[in-house]
């Protein structure tokens, strides 16, 4: 396990981590699964952005899997330790700052702003650019053993 993850009490799960878990990606499913196991065993709060719910649900609906989208929502809203974060005005303005000054997509900007504003003490992601934009420790999926 990565040291920053082990110290985390409020971990932000970015879209890439959740997608790899849902896809049961052969390289990353075990990584994300072990992080979730650690979080549940150690009562770590898992922050997720509702932007991520939008992103994964959009793909589900595009594939004709509306039921899957509802299951994603259930995971976000009813899983122990998981706290979905709404996009507030403060998050929107911080995201606009990231989007206006950095090479991030709107979705990436919203997710990073969510992690920052909602008090994450660590971010698990596959977006390397986040490392240069925040003082919050950023752990890439490839950094987890």
What is the pTM (predicted TM-score) of this model? 0.94
Dist. CA 46–CA 91, nearest whole Å: 18
pLDDT at position 103 over 90: no
How deeply is 132 buried, as exposed, middle or buried, from its count of CB atoms within 10 A (0-12, 13-18, 19+)?
exposed
Tokens 């919050």: give the residue. Answer: 136
Query: Which CATH number characterizes residue 39's domain?
Result: 3.40.50.1010
- In the predicted model, what is the mean pLDDT of residues 66-92? 94
pLDDT at position 113 over 90: yes
Please give the residue range of the domain that contains residue 8.
3-143
The count of structural domains within the chain is 1
């Amino acid at each position: 396990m990565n040291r920053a993850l082990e110290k985390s009490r409020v971990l932000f799960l970015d879209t890439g981590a959740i997608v790899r878990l849902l896809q049961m990606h052969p390289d990353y499913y075990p990584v994300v699964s072990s992080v979730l196991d650690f979080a549940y065993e150690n009562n770590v709060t898992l922050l997720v952005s509702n932007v991520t719910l939008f992103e994964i649900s959009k793909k589900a609906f595009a594939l004709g899997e509306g039921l899957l989208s509802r299951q994603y929502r259930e995971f976000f809203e009813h899983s122990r330790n998981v706290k979905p974060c709404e996009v507030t005005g403060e998050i929107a303005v911080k995201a606009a700052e990231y989007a206006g000054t950095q090479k991030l997509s709107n979705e990436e900007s919203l997710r990073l702003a969510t992690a920052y504003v909602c008090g994450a003490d660590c971010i698990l992601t596959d977006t390397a650019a986040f490392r240069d934009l925040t003082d919050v420790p950023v752990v890439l999926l490839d950094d987890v053993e």
